[in-house]
Every structure is written in structure tokens, then in C-alpha cells.
Amino acid sequence: MDNRVLGVGAPIVDLLINVDDAFLSSIKGGKGGMELVSHEEQDTIIVKSGCIPSKVPGGSAGNTIIGLANLGVPTSFLGKVGHDADGEFYLNRLAALGGETRNFRYGEGVYTGRCLSMITPDSERTMRTDLGAAATISSEDVTSDIFEGISHVHVEGYALFAEEYFRKVVGMAKQAGCTVSLDLASFEVVKIKKAVLPELLEKFVDLVFANEDEAAAFCGDASPEEQAVMLNRYCRVAAVKLGKEGCCVAQDGKATRVTTTPVKAVDTTGAGDLWQAGFIYGVLNGKTLVECAGFGAILGAEVVQVIGAEIPESRWQIIRKQCGA
């Protein structure tokens, strides 16, 4: 495959622990959702829990890139980590899959970002996140050599909060002849950046991903098919992810609904990110949009059946056969 995909986002190490509701009631903040805390607060919670966390690489773009790497796609990543064991862990995990690590940047005096996920018996996640070094990346970290040998750039929507940085990344990507995909990331991102999104999508983005909430924030009250067509006005391809209901994909002003076979989900974390990995894999291999959505569904269905966003290698062997990798 003559493709190398660059992920652009926050390299976050996910720390997973199992707790009960009584433990959650003993710490600051409510159950469910995500709150920003310090690195030290995370450590205090972990010690109090008495658990040894499972550690996996995370972050939205990171999940997508690791999914692509597991499918045999050459990958690279632009993000910032700290000079610490977590940063080394993240780089080593990507390198073990054949991923390129030369584009990681290092923050001085800051830790690598971490997300502590506390999983209760009902499979709900309560997250306490320290973005750490990831939050310190800036346009000064973007240089033209990053895009050497890169054919496609996948950006997580949180990068839109640093608009100068985002514009420099996607601007240089287009100058280097890369195609660009953008995951809109959250409805909050869309609401805050709605005024500039049409211009950014039309100018820089070839493939846009949105879930139902993000599509509604951008397009308003409309059917998924209508939302996909509206997004397709600005990008060559638009995909509206509908979870267990499948997706709607649009190209040339025409939308197609693609259904999927539901599975028993135990944790939906990373499902959209891995779905995107399958879809991008299909695009890179010249597949139809329906086939791309099928690959996305395969990866999405696998990751919701495990705790965390890391699919076991034994399952990847099956997935690669299903996707023809």
C-alpha cells in the first residue's frame, strides 16, 4: 500500500480501573462523563482505589491511528508527550505496530496526558482527565518535514480549539498533496466553531466524520441522510455515524444508509474512532463507500465488546482477514 497516514491529536494514555458506586461517591465529582483534574489528583484517586490500572494508548486520533496500524497501514502521529514513562509507553506501543514516531513532540516540565477511566459494574465510565503535554502543542510545533511521505492526514476535532494550529496543520497537509479527514469530535466543538466550520471544511477537508449529536449541532433537526448531504456540500465525502443503527454516507450530493448487525456492547469507548479506522482503510484501498462503512462496522463491533479501546491481537487476526488486510 502506497499510503502513510498521519494522525493529529492528543496522545492520551488511558488508565482503566474497576470500581463500585460507593467508591465513586467518595471522590469529588459525579458519576459518568469527564472532568479535568491534575496529574496529582489522578494519582490520589488511584491510590485510594487500591487498584493497579490497566494501561492502554488512547485519545481520539490515537485510537484511529492504532486501528489503522493494526490493519497494516503505515502510520505516523503528530502530538505532544512528556519526558516520562507514559510518553515512552505511548511511542513504544505505536512503534511495535510499525508506526512512525518521529513526529511526536515533547513538552518540558509537563506530564504525558492521561485519562483515568473508572468502570462500574453497570459498564458506565467515569473519567478524570489530565491533558498534560497534549494541551501545550502549538503552530510552532508544525514543520513541513512532518508531511514527507504522508498521503493522508486524520485530525481529531479537538484541534479546532487551537485554530491557528489547526489551520497550519491542514494547510501544510494540502500543500504537500495529502488528503485530509476530520472527526468533529463532540457537539461542543461543533457549537463553538460553527461559524468557521463551513470555510474550514470546504477549504481543507476531504472526508468529514460526525456522530448524531455532532451532525445535529451543525445541520439542525434533519434526518441522517439530509445531514450527510448537507455536510457533503463542503467535503468530497461525509459520514454520519449512527452507532448500532449503522451510518449514512454521502458523496456527490447523494446519501446512502448502511445498516449493521448489532452486538452486545459492554463499553462503547473508542467505537467511533475505530469505526473511522475501518472506513479510512477502505478509502485508502479504493473501496466503495458502502464497503468502507462495512469495514468500519467490523472494527466498531469488535471494540464495543471489550473494556477500553484496545482490541486484543487474537481478534485483530480475524479482523484483518475480514477486511482483506
Where are the extended beta strands (E) located within 149-202? 152-156, 179-183
Q: What does the pLDDT read at residue 309?
A: 79
Read off the pLDDT band of 306 (50, 70, 90).
Answer: confident
Please give the mean pLDDT across all residues of the chain. Answer: 94
Q: What percent of the chain has pLDDT over 70?
A: 99
Give the helix/strand (H/E) hosting 274.
helix 271-284
- Beta strand pairing call for 104-107 and 75-82: parallel
- Of 206, 238, 208, 235, whose CA–CA distance to 224 is shortest? 238
Q: What is the mean pLDDT of residues 57-79?
A: 95
Q: What does the pLDDT read at residue 1?
A: 46
pTM of the predicted protein model: 0.93
Read off the pLDDT band of 149 (50, 70, 90).
Answer: very high
The hierarchical CATH code for the domain 5-11+60-110+134-183+260-323 is 3.40.1190.20
| Cα 89 to Cα 10, 54, 58, 114, 155, distances in angstroms | 15, 12, 11, 12, 22
Residue 91 has pLDDT above 70, yes or no: yes
- Of 137, 155, 144, whose CA–CA distance to 6 is shortest? 155
**180-191 confidence digits (pLDDT tens):** 999 999 898 999
DSSP 72: T
Q: What is the mean pLDDT of residues 313-322?
A: 93
Q: Does residue 158 contact residue 12 with C-beta atoms inside 8 Å?
A: no
What is the distance between the alpha carbons of residues 28 and 45, in angstroms, rounded to a whole number? 10
Q: Does residue 244 contact residue 260 with C-beta atoms inside 8 Å?
A: yes
**131-142 confidence digits (pLDDT tens):** 999 999 999 999
Q: Would you list the domain boundaries of the chain?
A: 5-11+60-110+134-183+260-323
